[in-house]
A and B are shown apart, each in its own frame.
Chain A
Amino acid sequence: MNIFPALIKREFLDGQNGYLRVPVILAALSIFLVIVSTIGFGATIEFDGVFDDHEIQNLGQALDEAAASRRGETELPAAVTLSYWVMGGISWVALPFVVFFTLLSALYEERRDRSILFWKSMPVDDWQEVLVKFATPVFLAPVIFLAIAIASQLIVALFLSIVVLFQGGPVLELWPLASMIGTWFYFATLYLTMTLWVLPVLAWVLFVSAYASRLPIMWALMPPAIIAAVEGILFETTTFLRWIGIQLGGWQVYAYDSIHADIDGPADFLALIFGGLQGVALSYSLGSIQFWVGLVIAAAFLYGSIELRKRAS
């Protein structure tokens, strides 16, 4: 019997405010803002430097001009794709908070409200519970957020298409599908790499939720703060904080060291963010000792969480 679908469904139901309501509300808000600003500001979006000085009445004309311009063929799809990310990607702001607080309560709330005794009366092993409680926010939540981001990008594109259709502009220019789909995949892989780096920190948060008898947020934040303070006072160094900083995203500074960015327009920018970076990021990570050490630490915290849950009742 495969019990994982039922476990994941339960996690999703438990956390559906964070997994679904928050990103949908944020996406709806950003779509609403796009619609209001498009209608409110006379449907004009400016593409700096893409086209020469002309009097542009509306979005349709702007698109026409851009498409006909010297670099329009390469720059316009990239510009459109990027602007969709800006217009339909605001939900991502909430993701780190959703992941953090979901993990922090994952193994804490069930002990607080005693429902752990019900979960433990079911034929589900503690390792299965802990794994699902870790993987759902860390790996499933981003997939849901990405799906919502994609949906909102498509809604924005649809809305702008209708506007441009009425203005008599080139509607097809608003659908650079190859470039859009490409960014979705690139984003997913880059995000996965970043998640793997953050894994030890996330596993620590889950471990705290399995350990803390109260105030898990204090337990999550205080020990790292104390370690950093003690290190600072005794050795006058910041190795520990630097390590955390690198895991949380600082690694990218080193990973992209070799890239000499020469950004000239949206196409270069897009190619760099979604095309070049993720490959570099992945190969840098696989070759980094700190990356692998981080994964081992994450595994140790997960093991600790499982052992703590076995003893909890």
Chain B
Amino acid sequence: MTETVIEARGLSKSYGDFHALRPSTFSVPLGRILGVIGANGAGKTTMLNAVLGLSSFEGELSVMGCDPSTERGKLMQDVCFIADVATLPKWMKVGEVLDYVEGVHPRFDRAKAMEFLNRTNVPLDRKVRALSKGMTVQLHLAVVMSIDAKLLVLDEPTLGLDIIFRKQFYAALLEEYFDENRTVIVTTHQVEEIEHILSDVMFIKDGEIVLEAEMDALTQQFIEVMVTPGMEEEAQKLGPISKGVTFGKTTCIYKNIDREKLAELGETRRLGLADIFVATMTGEG
């Protein structure tokens, strides 16, 4: 039986009349990389904050068997996260940050953190305040990747970093950190950069989970057709979830329609995650 990391039943959060997260039921098993994708203010951070014990919530929620709202301290032995803003204490020196984590976290491996940091230009005797944005993120990532946690939550982890570092980071995450005994949850705007590492995706819109699927299955479900001129009527009959015009040709996106059937209409291609996201958010999918 696969171990479940997160189990949520009717999880929701409201601020007065505003529903930041509508009642949601989902579960996340161990050994997955889940991408949580949604527009700003869609409810991603609200959901993750509940999971991490950073805010109160309504409904049932169990993370690693703990109730995050009352057992955050215990939970954080198995869970690690980087919130969506620079949160490392600016007054601390890099070495002091490592000292502190070593002093409070039983699963922190300092040697490993040093190994990660040695690949960067982050100086140990510098204060966090004096580090560049990129170095601050590198330090934070070095810290969390050296913690032997079961669940790692990354909320926009590479925001503000250059493309080379982002690529390196996701490669390291996949090769050196992730294994079948860990689950990673990532939110990001740069969907293209993470889609190749994700095993699962979740789309959130207006506080609601609108799609939850395994990546393999999802990319097979959505097919785009560049409709051969004259076939527009047939294309319309099959019920595209979204329509557009490219190079003077009609393009239609279909969900759960047999690929061979679609091939008769014109040239078909699989959609990237970003396109699927846009189609789902704007269309009827």
Contact = CB atoms under 8 A, between A and B. Distances in A.
A6 B100 contact: yes
B85 A114 contact: yes
B89 A123 contact: no
A120 B104 contact: no
B99 interface: yes
Interface string A9-33: 1100110000000000000000000
Q: Assign chain B's interface to a size class.
A: 35 or more
A301 B140 CA distance: 34
A310 B87 CA distance: 17
A313 B54 contact: yes
A311 B86 CA distance: 20
Given A9-B99, A126-B73, A121 B86 contact: no
A90 B269 CA distance: 80
Binding site secondary structure of chain A: helix
Given A120-B72, A123-B74, A311-B56, A113 B104 contact: no
B103 A3 contact: yes
Interface of B: 49, 52-56, 72-77, 80-83, 85-92, 96, 99-106, 140, 144
Contacts of B55: 311, 313
Given A311-B55, A313-B49, A121 B91 contact: no
16 contacts: A6-B103, A9-B100, A13-B96, A14-B91, A115-B88, A116-B87, A120-B52, A121-B82, A121-B144, A122-B104, A123-B76, A123-B77, A123-B104, A123-B106, A124-B73, A126-B73
Contact of B80 (A1, A14, A121, A310): A121
Contacts of A126: 72-73
Nearest to A7: B104
Given A6-B104, A113-B89, A114-B85, A122 B76 contact: yes
Interface in A85-122: 110, 113-122
Contacts of B74: 123, 125
A215 B17 CA distance: 29
